[in-house]
């Protein structure tokens, strides 16, 4: 058995080629709770299928959700990489990244955000 970084043990027969699912830490927040679309549904929504690996760009996303209530402000943060099509328009980036992460169309369309490029 192989030791994973969190101390859990991985079965010897576990092979990433045979079992291509990402580790639980990489699943979208909503999918872990059973509320979001599956990986297959996400690929139909917006996550591209890679025919040519150079046609996709990795994008690092930090999604922050804030709720104000009588008890105070609640803030959640979720960070993950997504792959987007290289020919995607820059003004569509936030919505497509959120769709790829499993957020609904309405949530993605209403989201406000900033885009930072690394040089």
* Distance, CA of 9 to CA of 110 (rounded, Å): 41
Q: Give a yes or no: residue 91 inside a domain.
A: yes
Q: Give a yes or no: residue 12 inside a domain.
A: no
pLDDT value, residue 3: 45
* Distance, CA of 54 to CA of 37 (rounded, Å): 26
Q: What is the pLDDT of residues 53-106, one digit of tens each?
A: 678 889 888 888 877 777 778 888 888 899 988 888 888 888 998 899 888 999
pLDDT value, residue 70: 74
pLDDT value, residue 7: 46
Q: Give a yes or no: residue 32 inside a domain.
A: yes
Phi, psi of 10 (to 5 degrees): -100, 135
Q: Give a yes or no: residue 1 inside a domain.
A: no
Q: Give a yes or no: residue 18 inside a domain.
A: no
Partners of 69 in the beta sheet? 72
Distance set, CA 110 to CA 5, 21, 105 (Å)? 37, 30, 9
Can you give the residue range of the structural domain that contains 39?
24-49+58-110
Q: What is the pLDDT of residues 5-48, one digit of tens each?
A: 444 444 444 444 444 554 444 445 445 445 445 555 555 555 55
Number of domains in the chain: 1
Q: Give a yes or no: residue 44 inside a domain.
A: yes
Phi, psi of 26 (to 5 degrees): -95, -5
- Residues 23, 96 contacting (CB under 8 angstroms): no
């Amino acid at each position: 058995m192989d030791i994973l970084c969190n101390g859990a043990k991985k079965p010897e027969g576990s092979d990433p080629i045979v079992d291509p699912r990402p580790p639980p830490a990489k699943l979208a927040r909503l999918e872990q709770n059973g509320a979001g679309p599956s990986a297959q549904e996400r690929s139909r929504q917006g996550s591209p299928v890679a025919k040519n690996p150079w046609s996709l760009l990795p994008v690092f996303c930090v999604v922050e959700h804030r709720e104000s209530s009588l008890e105070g402000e609640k803030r959640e943060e979720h960070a993950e990489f997504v792959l987007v099509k290289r020919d995607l328009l820059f003004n569509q980036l936030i919505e497509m990244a959120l769709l790829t992460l499993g957020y609904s169309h309405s949530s993605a369309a209403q989201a406000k955000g900033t885009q930072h490029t690394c040089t």
